[in-house]
Amino acid sequence: MQLEAAIVLVIIFFFLLAMSVPVSFSIITSALITIIMFLTPQFGMFISAQKMVSGIDSFTLLAVPFFILAGQLMSSGGIAKRLINLAMLVLGKVPGSLALTNIAGNAMFGSLSGSGIAAATAIGGVMNPLEKEHGYDEGFSAAANIATAPVGQLIPPTNAFIVYSAASGGASVATLFMAGWIPGLLWALLCMIVVFVYAKKHGYVIERTEKMTASYALKTVWDAIPSFLLIVIIIGGILSGKFTPTEASGVAVVYAFILSLFVYKSIKVSEIKDILVNSAVMTTIVMLIIGASSVLSFVLSFTGLPQAISNLMLGISDNKIVILLLINVILLIVGTFMDMAPALLIFTPIFLPVIKSIGMDPIQFGVMMVMNLSIGTVTPPVGSVLFVGCSVAKLKVEDVIKKLVPFFAAIVVALLFVTFVPAFSTWLPTILGLMD
């Protein structure tokens, strides 16, 4: 009966996705139908309602709406230009400095806003026209922006690790936050190398438009410091034990509100209503998916599908390298058509038994998984960052894809490092005393 239930679950779920039914409704419908078919309708309705409520009844998940709201405030708070100025101050006349600034801006702004789409829009919207003005190839500029916009999904604070923590049964959010730093910076660094080589070949060097003086440098740094303090306060507070990740999300909202409304004065009081509404809508979507995935987790446990997949993979090979490559390929494919949150909630319980059986730390796997799914946001056919980045640059996807190829190669190299060298994910948490 378990095999039949697993087959029914998978067929209904992917059929609904193919029919363009929203992921959350595809999850709950496939799970509910499976329960009703193999148990009883009364039990199916009861357990579905119970699991949906209990799935979101979590103190840790309270951080999700707060970080979403903080990200909305920061995205609307006019910090992109200040971060761009800071990056240009450091990069100066380095070949490809404008594209390098775009990458640095994406890493900084993405971590603050928690959104690859926001980074591609805010940073790319400023940098793409500037790069065009200085003779950069438009497809190359758009590719650099698109390829690095998702870096903020790895650099804390990020909701992706909070969702993974919930899906994995309690992996430490603080540890995951620290584990994401080096992989995120590695992604950005390797893409910077691609830009530098390309820019050197094509002679992309610009002169400063502003005279470099001590007062200009100090003003640029001073303008950017308040934005960076958000990360310092959140991470410092968590590591020092002053507050939990959930409490840190509340602090982030208060800080982002004060910064945007009173310090930078880039948000009007009249705009706060729209920011709150957008945050509420985004939170509702995420929470609905989490609740639906809790029902799916019950059905997966009932069908024994995770263990069956684990046995299948281990039956194909007991070689750790082969298994990890196989998981990477599956996640890269999943990331091309499924958003981060549902993918994490669905595939984490499926792959966790596999990675534990080969001795991989769940923290390293969490970083590897988020990195895989982040790559999916810049790949067709459903890559949200890819299409937004092309829209910002006013280019067709086919005009950008070719320029993205060397960036894809660099990102895959970064992924392989994270996959097969545990220290990239575990070194920082270990020296901070967050891991045994």
H helix or E strand, kind and range, residue 111: helix 97-113
Chain mean pLDDT for the chain:
84
More confident residue, 104 or 76: 104
pLDDT in tens, 195-237: 999 888 887 776 555 566 777 778 888 888 887 788 788 888 8
Average pLDDT over residues 138-160: 89
pLDDT in tens, 286-299: 888 888 888 887 88
241 and 227 Cβ atoms separated by less than 8 Å:
no
The pTM for the full model equals 0.84
Query: What are the residues whose beta carbons fall under 8 Å from the beta carbon of 346, sequence distance 6 or more?
Result: 27, 293, 296, 338
Cα(73)–Cα(118) distance, integer angstroms: 11
First to last CA, the chain: 41
Average pLDDT over residues 339-355: 87
The whole-number pLDDT of residue 299 equals 82
What does 410-422 look like in DSSP terms, one character per residue?
HHHHHHHHHHH-T
Query: What are the residues whose beta carbons fall under 8 Å from the beta carbon of 240, sequence distance 6 or more?
Result: none
Query: What confidence tier does 413 reach under pLDDT thresholds 50, 70, 90?
Result: very high
Cα(100)–Cα(193) distance, integer angstroms: 9
220 and 85 Cβ atoms separated by less than 8 Å:
yes
Highest mean pLDDT pick, 71-75, 218-222, 358-362: 358-362
Instruction: Enumerate the domain spans of the chain.
Output: 59-267+304-431
The whole-number pLDDT of residue 1 equals 57
pLDDT in tens, 376-386: 888 876 677 88
Highest mean pLDDT pick, 158-167, 289-298, 299-308, 411-420: 411-420
Structure tokens belonging to residue 87: 């990056």
Highest mean pLDDT pick, 70-74, 375-379, 422-426: 422-426
Average pLDDT over residues 323-339: 87
352 and 81 Cβ atoms separated by less than 8 Å:
no
More confident residue, 82 or 402: 402
Task: Name residue, tokens 């087959």.
Answer: 7
Q: Count H helices and E strands in the chain, helices first.
A: 21, 0
pLDDT in tens, 95-147: 888 888 889 888 887 777 777 888 888 788 878 888 888 788 889 999 999 99
More confident residue, 384 or 181: 181
**Buried b vs exposed e over 113-145: b needs ≥16 C-beta within 10 Å?**
bbbbbbbbbbbbebbbebbbeeebebbbbbbbb
Amino acid 257 reads F
The whole-number pLDDT of residue 69 equals 86
DSSP 8-state symbol, 60? G
The whole-number pLDDT of residue 152 equals 85
Distance of CA 98 to the CA centre of its chain: 24
The whole-number pLDDT of residue 375 equals 92
Alpha carbon separation from 268 to 87, 178, 224, 353 (Å, rounded): 27, 34, 20, 49
Is 52 a residue whose pLDDT tops 90? no
Is 348 a residue whose pLDDT tops 60? yes
What does 353-384 look like in DSSP terms, one character per residue?
HHHHHTT--HHHHHHHHHHHHHHHTTSTTT-H
Cα(225)–Cα(83) distance, integer angstroms: 9
Cα(142)–Cα(125) distance, integer angstroms: 10
